[in-house]
């Protein structure tokens, strides 16, 4: 086993102990790098610890660069890795630091490192988390058409309500344009309610009341869709034994005998 294949196992796979440890350390470094970008954006901290933060940032950039080069070196088809989803994220997460040497204002893009957090899903792939996550994603996928229809209906509502409020309230009450009215309608219908724009006329408040109560009832729809999907007995996953005698399905994994014909389940 060459060093290269050994490194491959450690860096790209996570079945071995060393591979798991590598992934865990990487995850910690990613989290640290994100915290660092956050701290750098806080003026009071940035002013006080400027040199330390800069030092740490370059440290992490070098670690990420080294890791990126290693990955390119050890994979058999570097191009496939470079243009893969994770390859592009890995590249983009080191780019801003180097660009920052020549340009200003690229610093904020360093937050793209947050996308590296998605790597956590690879690390978790070996255990229950992935299965449970898959159930959620499957439920969302299966309800995507229902949710699209729902979102389309909501968007149409929001356009009509937003324009209505623009006509009723007018610019003097903060509804300066139709897009702003639509923004208000979304803020209200989703029950966020910032209060940066709120109706002042009696008619506007009456319509707002209807919108709010509608929003209250409407929130039931996506919840109902996802819940109904999650509550369905999951047929796709190996859901229990099949009776060898009567071929009935749907037995629990701890069932010993067929519920329908009484034959022993294998």
Contacts to its own copies from residues 184-223, by CB under 8 A: 186-196, 198, 202, 205, 208-209, 212-213, 215-217, 219-223
CA 101 to chain centroid: 31
CA dist 147 → 21, 137, 185, 218, 236 (Å): 40, 13, 19, 12, 22
Residue 181 C-beta: closest distance to its own copies, Å: 8
Q: Does 96 help bind its own copies (rule: CB under 8 A)?
A: no
* Total number of residues that touch its own copies (CB under 8 A): 97
Contacts to its own copies from residues 153-172, by CB under 8 A: 154, 156, 159-160, 163-164, 166-167, 171
Please spell the DSSP secondary structure of 184-245, one letter per residue.
HHHHHHTT----SS---SHHHHHHHHHHHHHHHHHTHHHHHHHHHHHHS--SSS--S---TT
Contacts to its own copies from residues 224-243, by CB under 8 A: 224-231
Residue 246 C-beta: closest distance to its own copies, Å: 9
Q: Does 247 help bind its own copies (rule: CB under 8 A)?
A: no
**Cβ(53)–Cβ(39) below 8 Å:** yes
Q: Does 95 help bind its own copies (rule: CB under 8 A)?
A: no
Contacts to its own copies from residues 31-50, by CB under 8 A: 34, 37-38, 41-43
Q: Does 117 help bind its own copies (rule: CB under 8 A)?
A: yes
| Lookup result for tokens 């957090």 | 117
**Cβ(30)–Cβ(119) below 8 Å:** yes
Return the number of the residue (5 or 131) whose C-beta is nearest its own copies: 131
């Amino acid at each position: 086993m060459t060093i290269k294949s050994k490194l491959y196992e450690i860096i790209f796979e996570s079945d071995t102990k060393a591979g798991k440890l590598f992934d865990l350390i990487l995850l910690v470094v990613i989290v640290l790098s994100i915290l660092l970008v956050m701290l750098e954006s806080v003026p009071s901290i940035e002013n006080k610890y400027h040199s330390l933060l800069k030092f740490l940032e370059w440290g992490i950039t070098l670690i990420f660069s080294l890791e990126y080069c290693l990955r390119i070196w050890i994979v058999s088809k570097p191009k496939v890795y470079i243009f893969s989803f994770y390859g592009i994220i890995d590249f983009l997460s080191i780019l801003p630091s180097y660009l920052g040497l020549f340009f200003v204002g690229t610093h904020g893009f360093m937050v793209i490192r947050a996308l590296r957090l998605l790597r956590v899903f690879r690390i978790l792939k070996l255990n229950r988390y992935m299965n449970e996550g898959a159930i959620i994603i499957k439920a969302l996928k299966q309800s995507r058409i229902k949710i699209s229809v729902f979102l389309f209906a909501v968007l149409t509502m929001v356009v009509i309500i937003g324009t209505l409020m623009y006509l009723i309230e007018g610019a003097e009450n903060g509804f300066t344009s139709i897009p702003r009215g639509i923004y208000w309608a979304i803020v209200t219908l989703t029950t966020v309610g910032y209060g940066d724009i709120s109706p002042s006329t009696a008619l506007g408040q009456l319509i707002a009341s209807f919108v709010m109560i509608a929003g209250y009832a409407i929130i039931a729809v996506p919840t109902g869709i996802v819940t109904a999907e999650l509550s369905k007995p999951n047929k796709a996953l190996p859901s229990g034994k099949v009776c060898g005698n009567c071929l009935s399905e749907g037995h629990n994994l701890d069932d010993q005998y067929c519920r329908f014909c009484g034959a022993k389940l294998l």
